[in-house]
A and B are shown apart, each in its own frame.
Chain A
Amino acid sequence: MNLTVDVQENEGKSVVLLAGEIDAYTAPKLKETLLSLTEKEGNKVEVNLEQVNYMDSTGLGVFVSGLKSTKENNSELKLVQLQDRVYRLFEITGLIDVIDVDKTVQGGY
């Protein structure tokens, strides 16, 4: 019932590695970290959700505020490697058409 947030600077982009659960308790920490990255002018932010096994609408809200922040700061936000259950929430809410979400597992050709 916790979330670890790891940030790595990698080839000109910020990679956020998440592991655990995103809910009302863990979302504030994630939001703080995410916004600190998207607020850097022109920054490319990639969030890896491979190890996120639970997320609810508070998590969706964090990524919506991240997206808004990219528009204000000319930065980019991309979500990658989502588990099926988490991906489904983006589908149900229609956010899939608004946020750049790439479900495919890296190297999984």
Chain B
Amino acid sequence: MESFDFIEIKVPAKPEYVGVIRLTSSGVANRMGFSYEDIEDLKVAISEAVTNTVNHAYEKDEDGEVTIGFGVYENRLEVMVADHGGSFNLDQVKRNIGPYEAAEPIEQLREGGFGLFLIDALMDKVEINSDSGVIVLMTKYLHENGVGLDDDQISTTQ
């Protein structure tokens, strides 16, 4: 069994806590040794997932909570974002994702709905489970180029 550390945070599903989750994500990723660029990608992707939950709670006028779980593995970070409560319409969400096409008339441009598209673009793997509420599970791998190079150098000098 692969060993990992698990960190769980629960915050009210309110916009003012999205930034708190972002700071925490940044801290965890930094601790693991992710590059600056990867940390910025993680911050956006995780914020998008939390924002989706917050918006959904707002639409339904619920005092919901959002739970964020960080699975810290040797070679990757797995982040789980769960809304405990109602679920958004997944088919509708999926229909509305994708990049803009320059040919699209401006009147048809979407003002929302591209959060999931960004998550997909910025993370290595994204899974969505909507059995009870909605859980977004996203993974980003550590690309330890530095360590790899060091290993090579050690082996050649032996």
The answer to whether A98 and B19 touch across the interface, beta carbons within 8 angstroms, is no
Query: Given that A1-B23, A23-B22, A57-B51 are contacting pairs, would A68 and B106 also be in contact in the complex, using a CB cutoff of 8 Å?
Result: yes
With an 8 Å Cβ cutoff, the count of chain B residues facing the other chain is 32
Interface residues on A, range: 20 to 34
Query: Given that A23-B15, A89-B44, A89-B118 are contacting pairs, would A94 and B99 also be in contact in the complex, using a CB cutoff of 8 Å?
Result: yes
The 4 A-B pairs with the shortest beta carbon distances in the complex, nearest first, are A1-B19, A94-B100, A97-B102, A94-B99
Does A34 interact with chain B (Cβ within 8 Å)? Answer: no
The answer to whether A93 and B106 touch across the interface, beta carbons within 8 angstroms, is no
The answer to whether A25 and B112 touch across the interface, beta carbons within 8 angstroms, is no
Does B59 interact with chain A (Cβ within 8 Å)? Answer: no
Does B48 interact with chain A (Cβ within 8 Å)? Answer: yes
A15 to B107, CA, bound (A): 25
* Residues in chain A within 8 A of chain B (CB atoms): 1, 21, 23-25, 54, 56-58, 60-61, 64-65, 67-68, 71, 85, 89, 92-95, 97-98
A22 to B97, CA, bound (A): 21
A85 to B23, CA, bound (A): 17
